[in-house]
Amino acid sequence: MSRLLQAHINKFTAVSDEEFEEISQLFSRQEVAKKENLLEEGQISHSYYFVLKGILRKFFINEKGVEQTTEFAIENWWMTDSFSYINQSPTEFYIQAVEAAEILVISRPSFEKLLDTHSAMEKYFRCVYQKAYAATQMRIKYLYGFSREDLYHNFRRRQPEFMQRVPQYLIASYLGITPEYLSEIRRKDIS
Amino acid sequence: MSRLLQAHINKFTAVSDEEFEEISQLFSRQEVAKKENLLEEGQISHSYYFVLKGILRKFFINEKGVEQTTEFAIENWWMTDSFSYINQSPTEFYIQAVEAAEILVISRPSFEKLLDTHSAMEKYFRCVYQKAYAATQMRIKYLYGFSREDLYHNFRRRQPEFMQRVPQYLIASYLGITPEYLSEIRRKDIS
DNA sequence: CGGTCTCTTGACGGAGTTCAAAGCTAGTGG
DNA sequence: CCACTAGCTTTGAACTCCGTCAAGAGACCG
């Protein structure tokens, strides 16, 4: 059903074709239109998403009513609001498609079953989380140590694919700066 | 040997006394003096630490030569530089005891063995990472959405134990503000 | 006690925001 | 396939939060 997920799992652990066949039964495939919300503030996060194609973003709305993007997910990335998912508490986030996307969805009960019946998946998700955690740690380091301008240059250098596929006001939103200021930074670069 | 770790593991999964006996063979106990470094910039992170008593902190030194604290760990918390630990690359961080501490240490080879021979531990660490990841996600949300002043009030409300046990200049370092500005914020609160 | 480490105070400066308005671009319907 | 509109990007001026520097006041440890 989805070679992409199978390949991703096999990067971290080994599952046979037969086992993956069983695993993939627990997922469903879904198309998401541009700007469609998969999750909205106040809801409880019941699903886990794996991106096959397209881009998702996670954002919240701050006190001033401004959208703050905290995470992008492209092909091969997992996405959910873990906090709401773990505690089954109302989320403070939105998950939205930046561009039309194709995803795999697994519900919480199925996810539990997945982990209980396939011990390889415990390992897989341990690795996925470990990596995601390490990445966020680095992210926090950057948020602290860098000026907004350096953040932009760093982002540009490390994630060039996002620069091309994501509109500028969303990059500003991800970097925690205003579109106006981002525009100013870019002007400096060119001249 | 350590009831604390056993209890923590049993919060997420079930291990018998006998199994825990085996598990605990892989750890060693260590005392850390105040201000002693467990890890220094440029080294490779070979160990994972579990705090039994006291406080550790992780920090890096930014371009201006200022220490930026990115994480505290108290009783029942795990600590390492995951990025260096996973990739076996030189770390950019220091890990230091804020106050005299007592910790459990497990080396990377032992950690691998732990995961390979005790499948319950895959589950345990999957849960630990999942939680840690969710916590960092929230942390990033706060770093974006809040002013430095709000960050302080939020920290004070949510982590009162740290307020009491950690000196103010370290809290400033954790919040990413100067001790001077933290002092100014506190003054406003009192009057 | 004496010295180092921590916390406070105040004047000044700069990075980044806010607000308002104008120029672009891309999608949509006729 | 063109025209129109809504959404995106750019510009500039005023303002604010927070950092820097310098100096003084406590507080803790030997």
The model's pLDDT over B124-140, given as tens digits with 9 standing for 90+, comes to 999 999 999 999 999 99
State, as a whole number of angstroms, the distance between the CA of B101 and the C1' of D28.
20
Which phi-psi region, left, alpha or beta, contains residue A137 (left: φ > 0; alpha: ψ -120 to 50)?
alpha
Q: Which residues from chain B sit within 8 angstroms of residue A144, using beta carbons?
A: 62, 68, 70, 143, 176
For residue A56, the SS3 value is strand
By Cβ distance, the residue of B129, B139, B176 closest to A126 is B129
- Rounded Cα distance between B111 and B102, Å, is 19
Does the structure show a pLDDT above 90 at A190?
A: no
Q: Do B133 and A92 touch (CB under 8 A)?
A: no
CATH architecture under which domain B3-117 falls:
Sandwich (2.60)
Please determine, for residue B36, whether its predicted confidence score (pLDDT) is greater than 90. yes
Residue B190 has pLDDT above 90, yes or no: no
From chain A, the residues in CB contact with B125 under 8 A are 126, 130
Q: Which residue gives the smallest C-alpha to C1' distance to D16? A: B147
Extract the tokens encoding A155: 């982002």
The residue of A144, A170, A177 whose CB has the most chain B CBs within 10 angstroms, and thus the best one to mutate to test that interface, is A144
Confidence of residue A191 (pLDDT cuts 50, 70, 90): low
State the smallest CA–CA distance between residue A3 and chain B in angstroms: 24
Tokens in use for A187?
């002007």
If one counts every other C-beta atom within 10 angstroms of the C-beta of residue A10, the result is: 14
What's the pLDDT at B191?
60
Q: Select the residue from A41, A86, A121, A122 to test the B interface by mutation, using most B Cβ atoms within 10 A.
A: A122
Query: Residue B93: closest CA among chain A residues belongs to which residue?
Result: A141
For residue A9, the one-letter residue type is I
For residue A166, count other CB atoms closer than 10 A to its CB.
Answer: 20
What residues are paired with B97 via a beta bridge?
B56
pTM as predicted: 0.92
- Contact between A83 and B137 using a beta-carbon 8 Å cutoff: yes
CA distance A111 to A86: 12
Confidence of residue B176 (pLDDT cuts 50, 70, 90): very high
Is B105 touching A (CB cutoff 8 A)?
A: no
- Tell me the percentage of chain A whose pLDDT exceeds 70: 98
Q: What is the pLDDT of residues A104-137, one digit of tens each?
A: 999 999 999 999 999 999 999 999 999 999 999 9
- At A11-45, the pLDDT tens digits run 999 999 999 999 999 999 999 999 999 999 999 99
> How many other CB atoms are there within 10 angstroms of residue A93's CB atom?
24
**CB-nearest partner of B83 from A85, A119, A138:** A138
In B, minimum Cα distance to A123 occurs at: B122
d(CA B26, CA B105): 9
Work out the minimum CA distance from A147 to partner chain B, whole angstroms: 11
List CB contacts (< 8 A) between B144 and chain A: 62, 68, 70, 143, 176
Residue B17: band (very low, low, confident or very high) from pLDDT cuts 50, 70, 90: very high
